[in-house]
Structure 1
């Protein structure tokens, strides 16, 4: 039995054509899609999503957050999120009362499990925070938690992006 015994000669051309258009994709850094909801002080670009590459279970892109910006307290439902810090300093607070805190700097990864109450903060008052964001679904989920006071109140600058809305 040859190593190619599973190939069918009449399917070979079709298979190559299939993988050419449905296989690995490289998205160049200067070709990201800024056609996402944008708000002042924040710039998000999609690299990998359903619309661009047909992704079914993952979203990836870049986000730049203005200095000193903070979200309100929230969680992302069943979504898992990974944040990779490219430039700047991120502070995360989490827990029932945001009693835990950690900071991340360039080269660090942050993992946010499902349903974890948290607050995201640009810890540098003078420099934008640039990150790569990957989430476990194309559908953005944000559940705001209004009965927990943020330890660091987002009064000066709200971290606002397509999935983190400003308070009304």
Structure 2
């Protein structure tokens, strides 16, 4: 092996050393994110912290009985993973649909879907991991929604997963 070839490999190794895998410790999250009363968001992965181009990830803690206003995230897709607590999601033009999720459950929110996140537990904080398909914090608040009083409960049903009960 020539010295030049060996030197090139060392340069590449240094490139990955500083631009490769990153570990963000749980106690080093950044709360310099848009905040909502009753909710505490912290960024783990974003452009400012690690140079992410197409993804945002972080945590959210939602106080007992707290809820967001009705909103959507434009073209972004969102995934919420429930760590602790009981999440209730309402969605639709009049928030006419509802589903709940608990620890270990994933929630998928497609682009442009009007929705509201709710901590359904009156006594405990809801803790979740949140991942979005872009680095920009797109939140479009919807103020002219006339919510239905009793939303229709919706279950995810496919040939493998049947409606409970």
Shift of 1:119: 1.1
- When residues 119 and 59 of structure 1 are mapped into structure 2, their CA distance, relative to the original with a 3 A threshold, is same
- 1:57 aligned counterpart, secondary structure: coil
Residue of structure 2 in register with 1:111 after alignment: 108
- Is 1:150 equivalent to 2:152 in the alignment? no
Q: Normalising to structure 1: TM-score of the pair? A: 0.79
Residue of structure 1 in register with 2:136 after alignment: 139
Q: How many residues align?
A: 145
Residue of structure 2 in register with 1:26 after alignment: 23
Structure number with higher relative contact order (C-alpha < 8 Å, ≥ 6 residues apart): 1
CA-based RMSD: 1.7
Query: Could you tell which deviates more after superposition, 56-65 or 141-150?
Result: 141-150
**2-structure distance, mates of 1:81, 1:113:** 7
- When residues 142 and 110 of structure 1 are mapped into structure 2, their CA distance, relative to the original with a 3 A threshold, is same
Residue of structure 1 in register with 2:121 after alignment: 124
Shift of 1:39: 5.6
Structure 1, unmatched stretches of 5+, are 1-7, 153-168
- When residues 137 and 94 of structure 1 are mapped into structure 2, their CA distance, relative to the original with a 3 A threshold, is same
Structure 2, unmatched stretches of 5+, are 150-165
Shift of 1:40: 5.1
Shift of 1:134: 0.7
Output one character per residue of 1:101-132: Cα deviation in whole Å (capped at 9) or x when no partner.
10000110101000111111111111111111
- 1:51 aligned counterpart, secondary structure: helix
Kept after mapping to 2: 8 A contact 1:41/1:66:
yes
Output one character per residue of 1:55-108: Cα deviation in whole Å (capped at 9) or x when no partner.
111111111111111112211100111111111110001112211110000110
